[in-house]
């Protein structure tokens, strides 16, 4: 039996209590601003479809067109793996999972676009399109054909299109309420944000709708699209994006990088506008630091090089997209935009290869950490959090199976959530 030894100290209890009292405000501020991961699934991509193109069969159509592209341009696992440079041991499992994903759930997150992809239309036309979008989304959730996450990208809150954007949002949300209520997977994207006051105004709109419709406070949340230089660096020289997260009052769910608007604003030429341009890397690094610990997720932008035309051209576009997605994953941008059904095979191929390549080592390190078994890497709680988050994301997107994770580690899903710091 170990006996407790009395050790000498100098600080009295009054000192500790005074320090605690002096930091109580900071403790509360940290808890409010940095609640940690929300514990929900993050989609691996967002698909944007213009409002006048979106239809009841859009999700299934994208999956079918992606499967047709595979059949035409990479008929089997060996051919697909050769195009993308996948290791032999990965080509088969990745190809199998990609096809299964395209058959089962081809789109994880879909945004009906009323902004750049839709343009300026007569008010009556956009009113009709917004009401139609609400009807189609409500029906999709009712009949089980919806993507896990769906919503709209409204026009921004700049003066020229502000009233139109607000009206479209109102019509869409009202239509959903009239059809039975807001679906759990509802997502709204606010584009072209330049000032934190615009984010605060968006939060006000959400609050007013909730009050008018008897919804719980905070039910309506939204993404902030970072596609202006002012969203990264303000006129006073201060980083701006953190102020935008704060201005959302807890309603911001994600920051989405806008490749082409942001690049153009920086003076980048059309041929060089891409997610891997240094200007893009700087913006996303600022976004990443600002969002860390807040529970706000990050999304990379897109490539506008489409996999269409002859097989050689499709293969070139596939290789480019695959490389960009993998590059983003290596930099902890776990979501990105896809602009064409032909991007889906390489989106899922890159995502699945990323998690399957890392599965063995992640399981080995996390098991050693939990069992205090040591190993060739000295992992700390922060690393265990990262390892658990890696496995959870792999499970959520279908790259990994539960047995591959829980079997070797002995950890349940709840154990992984706890180690990852997810607030579920």
Q: Give residue 371's Cα distance to chain centre.
A: 32
Half-sphere exposure of 59 (CA within 13 A, CB side): 25
Domain ranges for the chain, please list them: 45-351, 359-420
Alpha helices by DSSP H, listed for 85-223, are 88-104, 123-143, 162-178, 196-213
Query: d(Cα 404, Cα 103) in Å, to the nearest integer?
Result: 22
Q: Which two tokens stand for residue 3?
A: 């006996």
Handedness of CA 338, 228, 221, 296 (dihedral sign): positive
Residue with tokens 């082409």: 260
186-228: pLDDT as tens digits: 999 999 999 999 999 999 999 999 999 999 999 999 999 999 9
Predicted pLDDT at 409: 87
Confidence category of residue 2, pLDDT binned at 50, 70, 90: low
34-62: pLDDT as tens digits: 999 888 999 999 999 999 999 999 999 99
335-352: pLDDT as tens digits: 999 999 999 999 999 999
- Say which residues have a Cβ less than 8 Å from residue 133's Cβ, sequence separation at least 6: 51, 54, 112, 152, 172, 175
Confidence category of residue 387, pLDDT binned at 50, 70, 90: very high
- Say which residues have a Cβ less than 8 Å from residue 275's Cβ, sequence separation at least 6: 257, 259, 300, 301, 302, 303, 324, 327, 328, 336
- Percentage of the chain lying above the pLDDT 70 cut: 97
| pTM (two decimals) | 0.93
Contact, 222 vs 189, CB < 8 A? yes
309-327: pLDDT as tens digits: 999 999 999 999 999 999 9
Q: Which two tokens stand for residue 182?
A: 């807001």
Query: d(Cα 404, Cα 394) in Å, to the nearest integer?
Result: 11
The percent helix, strand, coil of the chain (3-state, each to 5) is 55, 10, 35
Predicted pLDDT at 372: 74
Predicted pLDDT at 1: 56
Task: Please tell us whether the domain made up of 45-351 is placed in CATH 3.40.50.1970.
Answer: no
Helix (H, G, I), strand (E, B) or coil at 163: helix
Mean pLDDT, the chain, rounded, equals: 94
Weakest mean pLDDT among 79-93, 258-272, 408-422: 408-422
Q: Nearest CA to 252 among 274, 222, 287?
A: 222
Tell me, what DSSP letter sits at residue 4?
Answer: P
Contact, 371 vs 329, CB < 8 A? no
Cβ-in-10-Å burial (0-12, 13-18, 19+) of 153 comes to buried
409-421: pLDDT as tens digits: 888 889 999 898 8
Rg for the chain, CA atoms, rounded: 23
Predicted pLDDT at 371: 80
Confidence category of residue 375, pLDDT binned at 50, 70, 90: low
């Amino acid at each position: 039996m170990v006996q407790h030894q009395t050790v000498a100290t100098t600080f009295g209890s009054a000192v500790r209590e005074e320090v605690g009292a002096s930091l109580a405000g900071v403790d509360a501020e940290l808890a409010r601003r940095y609640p940690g991961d929300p514990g929900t699934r993050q989609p691996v991509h967002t698909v944007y479809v213009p409002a006048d193109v979106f239809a009841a069969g859009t999700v299934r159509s994208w999956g079918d067109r992606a499967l047709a592209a595979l059949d035409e341009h990479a008929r089997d696992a060996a051919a697909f793996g050769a195009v993308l440079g996948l290791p032999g041991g990965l080509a088969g499992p990745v190809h199998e999972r990609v096809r299964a994903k395209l058959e089962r759930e081809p789109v994880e997150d879909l945004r009906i676009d009323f902004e750049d992809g839709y343009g300026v239309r007569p008010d009556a036309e956009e009113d009709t399109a917004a009401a139609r979008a609400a009807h189609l989304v409500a029906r999709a959730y009712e009949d089980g054909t919806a993507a896990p996450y769906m919503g709209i990208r409204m026009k921004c809150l700049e003066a020229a299109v502000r009233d139109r954007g607000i009206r479209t949002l109102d019509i869409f949300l009202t239509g959903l309420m009239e059809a039975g209520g807001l679906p759990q997977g509802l997502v709204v994207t606010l584009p072209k944000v330049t000032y934190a006051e615009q984010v605060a105004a968006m939060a006000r709109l959400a609050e007013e709708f909730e009050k008018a419709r008897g919804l719980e406070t905070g039910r309506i949340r939204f993404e902030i699209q970072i596609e202006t230089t002012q969203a990264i660096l303000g006129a006073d020289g201060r980083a701006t994006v953190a102020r935008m997260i704060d201005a959302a009052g807890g309603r911001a769910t994600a920051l989405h990088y806008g490749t082409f608007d942001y690049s153009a604003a920086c003076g980048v030429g059309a041929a060089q506008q891409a997610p891997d341009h240094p200007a893009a890397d700087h913006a996303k690094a600022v976004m990443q630091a600002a969002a860390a610990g807040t529970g706000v997720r990050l999304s990379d932008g897109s490539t506008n090089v489409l996999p269409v035309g002859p097989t050689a051209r499709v293969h070139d576009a596939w290789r480019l997209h695959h490389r960009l997605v993998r590059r983003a994953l290596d930099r902890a941008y776990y979501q990105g935009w896809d602009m064409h059904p032909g991007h889906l095979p390489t989106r899922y191929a890159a995502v699945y290869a990323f998690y399957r390549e890392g599965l063995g080592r992640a399981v080995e390190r996390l098991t050693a950490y939990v069992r205090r078994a040591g190993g060739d890497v000295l992992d700390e709680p922060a690393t265990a959090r990262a390892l658990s988050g890696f496995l959870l994301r792999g499970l959520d997107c279908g790259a990994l199976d539960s047995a591959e994770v829980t079997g070797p580690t002995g950890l349940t899903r709840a154990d992984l959530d706890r180690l990852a710091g997810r607030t579920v």
